[in-house]
Amino acid sequence: MASQTNRNGESVDDVVSIIQDVQAQTADRVGSTEAPTAAGPIRRAFQFRRRYPQHGGDSARHQRVAHAGECSDGRMSGTDEYYNRAKQEGYRTRSAYKLKQLDDAAGLFGPGNVVVDLGAAPGGWLQVAAEEVGETGTVIGVDFQRIDELDADTVETIRGDMTDEETKDRLRDRVGADGADVVLSDMAPDMTGEYSVDHARSVHLARQALDVATELLPAGGDFAAKVFDGRDLDDLRADVDAAFEYVRTVHPDASRDASSELYLVGKHRITAPVAEGEEFDAVVDDVGSEGDGVVKVDGYALFVPGTETGDEVRIRVTDVKPNFGFAEVVAE
């Protein structure tokens, strides 16, 4: 039986050899200390490329091997702009530029922020986050793989699996009672070669990250997670939208053109005790500086136009912000 080849005439064994060579070069040049080396996943990746050429680049030489949020870049040749920039500017991974572009697009970071990075190995995103939050910030990376120490006093790492309660407890302790300002996830599943399965697994990882974010983020916090495009994306986006003031879908330029990966960015975590569309009877507690009545619900302020202190009204919530909201009087 003839061996399988791709459109460049490369056999499975050729591709295995190519990618294993690339992984060794990547470890030396970029600082990814634990690139996967097993031939099995690479063979599956080859099969995946044959079945789904639109999901991962233009040839098996550029197959992206999932690795805790960082993918190998095939040959990683000198023609790859972001690889070259990472090498020149001292970043451990080319994906560092994805985070830079996410920040440019969505304004994730600020000085003094507490940032949690899930799936942080080998540390490219930690480097970028540390630069953005400055000396007064804190960046906490979590991964089941070892992360080599970074030259930044503001970066802490936790080695563990986020599905384990012990790891979650360690993360809660590091973050502290005030919570985090930003939760990031560049986690990616091990590729099976079946796109529907890989998509579903990526959605599952993103949901795990969302669970962590909704626990650790106080009102106003931000969230960003990688996911592969597919049929379950709309449901995931709706869940992110329900927990944040708004959600954006971002495709960083540093992602390969043929890649199906994208990032969901949830801005301004909402922890309000009310929901848009909810109706209830209330008493106006105060009047705000703009002249609108103020109804307090567990300390959360709802501004109600056309009311005064002491009015007893039935209201409908029309808009919910992280720290306050708006309502209207429901006609009797």
Do 113 and 182 meet the contact criterion of CB atoms below 8 Å apart?
Answer: yes
Q: Which ranges of 149-232 does DSSP label H, i.e. alpha helix?
A: 165-175, 195-216
Query: Which amino acid belongs to residue 83?
Result: Y
Residue 168 appears among annotated catalytic residues: no
Considering all CA atoms of the chain, what is the largest pairwise distance in Å, rounded to the nearest integer?
86
Nearest residue to 35 (alpha-carbon basis) of 61, 73, 4: 73
Quickly tell me which residue has 């044959």 as its tokens. 50
* Cα–Cα distance, 161 to 187 (Å, whole number): 12
Of the candidates 87, 226, 267, 321, the residue annotated as catalytic is 226
Cα 5 to Cα 225: distance, rounded to the nearest angstrom? 35
Tokens of 288: 């705000």
Cα 86 from Cα 224, distance rounded (Å)? 22
Our CA angle for 157, 161, 164, nearest 5°, is 120
Q: Is residue 264 exposed (0-12), middle (13-18) or buried (19+ Cβ within 10 Å)?
A: buried
Active site residues: 226
